[in-house]
């Protein structure tokens, strides 16, 4: 059998420079950044989930028709060649800025390699995959860890009978009627924006569109369009509880994904001309920062009991819902939040083939306190996005470690803003990432 090797466009391959190359370090790095963007966009022609956002020049987009067969070996060769050039640049420069940029791209390229293999059907274990894609492997906890947290929730919830049923009965008091969703969501997002603007100056033309969609495996999504514009979609397949309005709204908008992408575009792409920032590959260490910061931002924008107060005084009346029991509900949600790592175990079990779908369903219902419908949606997400699930919980914990335990809100916002405005790699977040 003759093996067909597809040749990629020349710009995807690293090309050696001669010994008399007199370009500045910045010029060399800028050209390597262009190769990085072109390579990512080329992969995205095959892998529809590869590019989450791109707002760079159209001239970097592929123009040649792609071969029908996915050119796995050639793409991996392009990744290795570009990584070698970047490593050489790092060794031979005296500029901290050049080293920072090159190191960030190198981390992204490790993820390129793993995603190319995944797209070709070549898999690694859950932890190996997450380490290569996102730069970290999340901690694993045995079943007794979750049983202990369930016991805490059991002692909190009134009544008798299965804990899951009691939690669901409490949660069902706070389901938003479909005809109230738009008003409640827009009110919550407007409050998140107002609070964020007291700390950050955002571009004058920034804006977003809000849409409601169905048949998705996720609950919300921010499609960043560049020029400080976003499309935020909310999935209405499942019933939406009152707490999810703030969580999804803040996560996708202020100070979450919308703000993160805007600050990177303004501070690095537009102000400094770093073209590599214009490409956001979904399966990359950048998503650890993006998802972790978006989840951390929920508590940043509504610290302490302010989330409960805003929900009770503003959102529940707008939704036409009784406020009785809202304090108990949020206390239960705090414990439920500690159980979020159960979804990582489900992902680990599904990807490592050590857990059946029935086992996964049981874990998500017994330890994640999902109803069956939500649990099935979560399994669907894991099958599509795989080890991406660690970015939400472990990513948030790493961001929290990075910000530090301080009651000074202005300092938290300041450090958070720096994080959203710089090319941060996972190993810069916390010593945990090296474990």
CATH number of the structural domain spanning residue 30: 1.20.1260
Task: Give a yes or no: residue 128 inside a domain.
Answer: no
Task: Give a yes or no: residue 395 inside a domain.
Answer: yes
Q: Rounded to whole angstroms, what are the CA distances from 212 to 185, 216, 219, 236, 238? A: 11, 11, 10, 6, 12
Q: Which domain holds residue 30?
A: 10-122
- pLDDT score at 8: 61
- pLDDT score at 67: 75
Task: Give a yes or no: residue 129 inside a domain.
Answer: no
Outline where DSSP puts E strands in 42-107: 51-54
Shared-domain flag, residues 40 and 158: no
- pLDDT score at 429: 87
Shared-domain flag, residues 148 and 117: no
Task: Give a yes or no: residue 2 inside a domain.
Answer: no
DSSP 272-283: T--GGGGEEESS
Shared-domain flag, residues 48 and 160: no
- pLDDT score at 371: 87
Contacts of 159 (CB under 8 A, 6+ apart): 166, 169
Distance, CA of 203 to chain centre: 23
Q: Indicate the number of domains in the chain.
A: 2
Shared-domain flag, residues 304 and 405: yes
Task: Give a yes or no: residue 46 inside a domain.
Answer: yes
Nearest-angstrom CA–CA distance, 295 and 297: 5
Task: Give a yes or no: residue 127 inside a domain.
Answer: no
Nearest-angstrom CA–CA distance, 74 and 67: 12
Contacts of 174 (CB under 8 A, 6+ apart): 241, 242, 243, 316, 321, 326, 329
Edge-to-edge order in the sheet of strand 229-235: 207-213, 229-235, 220-226
Shared-domain flag, residues 234 and 114: no
- pLDDT score at 431: 57
Task: Give kind and range of the element (H or E) at residue 230.
Answer: strand 229-235
137 burial (CB, 10 Å; 0-12 / 13-18 / 19+) is buried
Task: Give a yes or no: residue 175 inside a domain.
Answer: yes
Q: Around Cβ 112, how many Cβ atoms within 10 Å?
A: 26
Residue 94 in tokens: 């005296």
Q: Rounded to whole angstroms, what are the CA distances from 264 to 95, 223, 380? A: 21, 15, 31
Shared-domain flag, residues 296 and 186: yes
- pLDDT score at 434: 42
Shared-domain flag, residues 155 and 192: yes
Shared-domain flag, residues 297 and 266: yes
- pLDDT score at 171: 94
Shared-domain flag, residues 235 and 352: yes
Residue 107 in tokens: 């981390």
Nearest-angstrom CA–CA distance, 63 and 45: 11
Shared-domain flag, residues 231 and 351: yes
Domain edge (last residue) among 93, 122, 151: 122
Nearest-angstrom CA–CA distance, 410 and 211: 33
Task: Give a yes or no: residue 68 inside a domain.
Answer: yes
pLDDT tens digit at each of 435 positions of the chain: 444 445 566 445 444 444 445 579 999 999 999 999 999 999 999 999 999 999 999 999 998 777 789 999 999 999 999 999 999 999 999 999 999 999 999 999 999 999 999 999 999 999 999 999 999 999 999 999 999 999 999 999 998 899 989 999 999 999 999 999 999 999 999 999 999 999 999 999 999 999 999 999 899 999 999 999 999 999 999 899 999 999 988 999 999 999 999 999 999 999 999 999 999 999 999 999 999 999 999 999 999 999 999 999 999 999 999 999 999 999 999 999 999 999 999 999 999 999 999 999 999 999 998 889 899 999 999 999 999 999 999 999 999 999 998 889 999 999 999 999 999 999 998 655 444
Distance, CA of 297 to chain centre: 13
Domain edge (last residue) among 122, 153, 181: 122
Residue 424 in tokens: 């941060």
Shared-domain flag, residues 211 and 266: yes
Domain edge (last residue) among 122, 156, 187: 122
pTM score: 0.92
- pLDDT score at 10: 46
- pLDDT score at 68: 84
Shared-domain flag, residues 118 and 147: no
């Amino acid at each position: 059998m003759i093996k067909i090797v597809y040749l990629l466009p020349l710009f995807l391959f690293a090309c050696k420079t001669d010994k008399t190359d007199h370009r500045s370090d910045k010029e060399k790095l800028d050209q390597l950044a262009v190769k990085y963007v072109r390579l990512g966009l080329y992969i995205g022609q095959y892998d529809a989930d590869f590019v989450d956002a791109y707002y760079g020049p159209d001239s970097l987009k592929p123009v040649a028709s792609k071969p029908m067969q996915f050119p796995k070996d050639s793409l991996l060769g392009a990744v290795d060649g570009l990584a070698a050039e970047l490593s050489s640049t790092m060794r031979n420069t005296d500029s901290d800025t050049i080293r920072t940029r090159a190191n960030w791209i190198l981390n992204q390229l490790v993820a390129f390699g793993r995603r190319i293999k995944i797209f070709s059907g070549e898999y690694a274990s859950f932890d190996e995959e997450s380490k290569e894609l996102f730069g970290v492997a999340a901690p694993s906890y045995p079943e007794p860890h979750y049983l202990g947290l369930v016991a805490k929730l059991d002692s909190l919830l009134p009544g008798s009978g299965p804990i899951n049923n009691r939690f669901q009965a409490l949660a069902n008091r706070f389901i938003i009627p479909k005809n109230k969703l738009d008003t409640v969501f827009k009110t919550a997002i407007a409050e998140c924006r107002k609070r964020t603007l007291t700390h950050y100056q955002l571009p004058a033309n920034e804006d977003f569109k809000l849409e409601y969609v169905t048949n998705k495996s996720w609950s919300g999504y921010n499609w960043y369009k560049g020029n400080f514009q976003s499309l935020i979609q909310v999935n209405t397949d499942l019933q939406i509880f009152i707490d999810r309005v703030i969580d999804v709204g803040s996560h996708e908008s202020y100070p979450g994904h919308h703000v993160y992408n805007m600050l990177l575009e303004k501070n690095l792409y537009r102000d400094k001309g770093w073209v590599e920032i214009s490409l956001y590959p979904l399966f990359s260490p950048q998503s650890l920062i993006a998802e972790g910061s978006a989840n951390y931002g929920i508590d940043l924008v509504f610290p302490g009991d302010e989330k409960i107060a805003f929900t009770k005084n503003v959102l529940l009346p707008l939704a036409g819902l009784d406020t009785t029991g809202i304090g108990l509900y949020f206390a239960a949600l705090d414990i439920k939040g500690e159980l979020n790592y159960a979804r990582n175990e489900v992902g680990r079990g599904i990807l490592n083939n050590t857990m059946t779908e029935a086992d996964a369903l049981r874990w998500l219902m017994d330890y994640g306190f999902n109803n069956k419908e939500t649990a099935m949606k979560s399994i669907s997400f894991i099958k599509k996005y795989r080890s991406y699930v660690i970015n939400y919980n472990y990513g948030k914990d790493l961001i929290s470690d990075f910000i530090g335990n301080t009651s000074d809100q202005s300092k938290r916002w300041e450090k958070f803003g720096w994080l959203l405005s710089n090319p941060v790699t996972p190993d810069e977040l916390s010593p945990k990432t090296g474990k």
